[in-house]
Amino acid sequence: MKHAIYPGSFDPMTLGHLDVIERAAQMFDTLTVSVLNNVAKSPLFSVEERVKILEEATAHLKNVKIDSFSGLLIDYCAKKDVHIVIRGLRAITDFEYELQIAQTNRKLSKGQVDTIFLTTSLEYAYLSSSSVKEIASFHGDISQCVPEFLVDRIHNKFS
């Protein structure tokens, strides 16, 4: 059975993330989307909130599970007995960062954890969690960036 993990901050999740999730879910028997609990960042949404949001957004995808983790991704993969990580690529800037992380994970895990990249769908190439937060902080329109049910929840964080 093929199982992959899509890790990320998802703070907040965007339609770009959802697009990667939907496409990866078609390629694997099970896809676990896992929220990284990064203590170094001060997030807009708590890990619990982000997990709930992802659960709501992926309710239509029966082979997608939502989880969270802290610590090293390769340790989490070993615990789950998963060997494939999914990441998304938007532009060359993502590539430099993602390449380094993917190679580090492969080396540290002694070849047990490999990364598969899905290139962004063109309509979401511009989209990032940080730009959504910046637009929302100025009360701008984020309806083309995130699922509809999430629009007010993000705006409420800035009201």
| Bond prior to 12 in cis (omega within 30° of 0) | yes
Residue 59 near residue 94, CB atoms below 8 Å: no
**3-class state of residue 145 by DSSP:** coil
Q: What are phi and psi of 141, to 5 degrees?
A: -85, 115
- CA 157 from centre of chain: 20
- Torsion-angle region of 157 (φ positive above 0: left; ψ -120 to 50: alpha; else: beta): alpha
Measured from the CB atom, the residue of 88 and 109 that comes closer to ligand ADP is: 88
- 45 is a site residue for ligand ADP (CB under 6 A): no
- 69 is a site residue for ligand ADP (CB under 6 A): no
- 128 is a site residue for ligand ADP (CB under 6 A): yes
Residue 62 near residue 30, CB atoms below 8 Å: no
Measured from the CB atom, the residue of 1 and 36 that comes closer to ligand ADP is: 36
Is 68 part of the annotated catalytic residue set? no
Number of residues that bind ligand ADP (CB under 6 A): 16
Question: Binder to ligand ADP among 5, 18, 20, 113 (CB under 6 A)?
Answer: 20
Q: Which of 9, 34, 109, 129 is catalytic?
A: 129
Is 62 part of the annotated catalytic residue set? no
Q: Which of 52, 65, 80, 90 is catalytic?
A: 90
List of residues contacting ligand ADP (CB under 6 A): 8-10, 14, 16-17, 20, 87-88, 90, 94, 120, 124, 127-129
